[in-house]
Each structure stands twice: as structure tokens, then as C-alpha cells.
Structure 1
Amino acid sequence: MLERPQASEYNEFFTRYIGLVPEGNLIALLEEQQAETNRIYSALSAEQADYRYGEGKWSLKEVLGHVTDTERIMSYRLLRIARGDQTPLPGFDQDAYMEGNPFSGLTVAELLENYNAVRQATIVLLKQLSAEAFTRSGFANQSPLTARAIAYILYGHERNHLSIVQERYLDN
């Protein structure tokens, strides 16, 4: 079982995401979260998938695209840090990634295909890492970060967005 990371293993910005991770087996939690995301998005109509709750806010398709892009980037960071790579990794601007994004032109099924491929790759990577690899530390966005902190951040980031989806998109 992967232990919860200590506060010294990540930038304070990520505290809110790590705090959203319940106790339990992180890989099982990621698998359950994947099933939940698939349930939510598979039930959407085309109109719901394009819904924005406010001016300048992302559509539900864009939220899923963002979650997938972020997991892809963070999993890459996790791999490099777990393998002992000490090269400082740059940050990324989520808003720049959203400019000109292809998400609105894709179907929910296509977005879920991408999401599921990325999540499955993340889970396989996590299952194959040693306990020592999870404790390795590197630098991303000018801050120290361990592989296990990234694993927790992945779950927490998506949990944060699923809560927003529920509160601001589906409950209205």
C-alpha cells in the first residue's frame, strides 16, 4: 500500500488535491474513479456535454480533456522522477493548453477513449513501480516533488474536477 506523501514532498499548491484522497489502496481508488468518470460522462447528452455554467467556463467536454491532458503530463513527470531523472521539469499553463483545443469537436465517446487510455497507462505504471521508486524526488515547476506525491495529486486533481462537475454542471 502506497503511503500518503508528507508535506515536504510537494509544493503547497497541491495540498488541496492530496487532501481529497481518501484512505485506501490508491490504485483501487484510481480504478474506482475511472469507473465513476465513465458513468458520469457516458450518461451525458450531446447538449449536456457542451454545457458551460458561465461565461468563459469550460464545457464538460473541455473539463474531461483538461483532466486527461493533466494526467498525461503528470504521469510523464512521475515516470521521470521514479526513474531517478533529476532534470528540472517545467510547469505548464492549463489555459494555454485549452486555447485551440480539439475537445469541442470530439464526441464524449472519443474523449472517454483518450481518458481511459491515459488512466490505464497510469495504473499500469503505478503497479510496476518499486516502493523505492515512489519515494524518489525530483523538481517540477521549480519545486520538489516525489513520485508518490504525483500519484496522489492525480487522484485529487480529478476528484476536484468531478466535484465541480457535480455541483456546477449536473446539479443545475
Structure 2
Amino acid sequence: MLRKQETNEYPPYYKEYVNNVPDGERLHILDDQQKETMNLLRDLSEEMAQYQYAQGKWTIKEVIGHITDTERIMCYRLLCIARGEQEMLPGYNDDEYVRRGQFNRFSLSDLLHHQALVRQHTILLLSSMDDEALRRRGNANGSEVTARALGYIIAGHEIHHRRLIKDRYLSSLQ
């Protein structure tokens, strides 16, 4: 089991995400949480998956698309940093990515399938890296971060959004 990284391995704004991740083997955590998200959402109707809990908020489909896009971006950063990239990796505007992703035109089943495939890729990538690669530091969006911290950020980001789905979306639908 790899210990959680030190707080100097990621920017302070990711602290909530990292703290959301339970102790345990990181690959099992990533696998288990993706299954939890799938179990939470797979039986929603298409109509329910287009629900917004407030005007201007994302639909459940858009949240799933956002989780998936963010994991793709964080995984790319993880790969670059683990391989020793020294150039700054760019940030991204998540609202623009969601808007341009047009996730509401996809079925919920397709979105969950994409998310599962991206998660499998993340797990395979992380499982191929040794401690030295995971401890490498790089610059993403103007802040220093280690490759292993990005693995925890990925996991914590999904946990954060799964909680929002439960608390703000699904609780309103019942």
C-alpha cells in the first residue's frame, strides 16, 4: 500500500479531494469506487439522467462527462509527470469542456461505459509505474504536483461528485 502523499505534493485546492480518499491500496480504491458510481447510476432513466437540481447546474449526464474528462486530463498529466516532463502542462476550463462535450446527447449507459474504460486505463497506467516515477514532480496549470498525488486527486474528484449526485440530484428525485 502506497501511503497518501504529503500535502506539499499537490496544490492546496486539491486537499478536499485527497482527504476524501480512504486509506487502502490505491488501485483497489479506484476500481471499487468506479463500481460504486456505476451501481449508483446505472438504473436511472434517461429523463432522470438529464435532471438539473438548479438552473444553470449540470445535468447528471454532464457530471459524468465532467468526471470522465477530468480523469482523462489528470491521467495525461500523471503520465507526463511520471515520465519526467518539465514543461508546464495546461489547465482547462471545466465549464467549457462540459458545454462542448454535449454529454446530454449520449445515453447514460454510453457515458458510464466511457467512464469505466477511462478508469481501466488509469488503473493500468498506475499499475505500470514504480515509486520513483510516482514521486516525480511536475507543473500542471501553474502548480507543482507529483504523479502519485494525481492518482489521489482522480479518486477524490470522483468521490466529490458522487456525493454531490447523491445529495443534490438523487435526493431531489425521490
TM-score range, shorter chain: over 0.9
The offset of 1:19, in angstroms, is 0.7
Q: Which residue of 2 aligns with 1:65?
A: 65
Q: Which residue of 2 aligns with 1:4?
A: 4
Secondary structure of the 2:138 match is strand
Deviations 1:34-77 (A, max 9, x none): 10111112111111100000000000000000000000000000
Structure 1 position 21 matched with structure 2 position 21: yes
Distance 2:147 2:100 in 1: 31
Q: Which residue of 2 aligns with 1:155?
A: 155
The offset of 1:90, in angstroms, is 1.0
- The amino acid of 1:27's aligned partner reads L
The offset of 1:2, in angstroms, is 1.7
The offset of 1:14, in angstroms, is 0.4
Q: Which residue of 2 aligns with 1:129?
A: 129
- Return 35-44 or 67-76, whichever deviates more: 35-44
Q: Which residue of 2 aligns with 1:116?
A: 116
- Return 145-154 or 108-117, whichever deviates more: 108-117
Distance 1:49 1:98 in 2: 15
Secondary structure of the 1:58 match is coil
- Return 35-44 or 59-68, whichever deviates more: 35-44
- The amino acid of 1:146's aligned partner reads T
Secondary structure of the 2:104 match is helix
TM (norm. structure 1) is: 0.98
The offset of 1:123, in angstroms, is 0.3
Distance 1:68 1:136 in 2: 24
Distance 2:101 2:129 in 1: 32
The offset of 1:102, in angstroms, is 2.0
Distance 1:79 1:49 in 2: 32
% identical aligned pairs = 45
Distance 2:134 2:103 in 1: 32
- The amino acid of 2:20's aligned partner reads L
The offset of 1:100, in angstroms, is 3.0
Structure 1, unmatched stretches of 5+, are: none
- The amino acid of 2:56's aligned partner reads G
The offset of 1:88, in angstroms, is 0.8
Retained in 2: the 8 A contact 1:82–1:134? yes
Distance 2:67 2:100 in 1: 16
Structure 2, unmatched stretches of 5+, are: none
Q: Which residue of 1 aligns with 2:171?
A: 171
* Deviation beyond 6 Å, 4+ runs, structure 1: none
Distance 1:38 1:22 in 2: 19
Retained in 2: the 8 A contact 1:2–1:148? no
Deviations 1:71-121 (A, max 9, x none): 000000000001111111111110111223221000011101211110000
Distance 1:164 1:4 in 2: 24
What RMSD, in angstroms, separates the aligned Cα atoms of the two structures? 0.8
TM (norm. structure 2) is: 0.97
Aligned residues: 172
- The amino acid of 1:142's aligned partner reads G
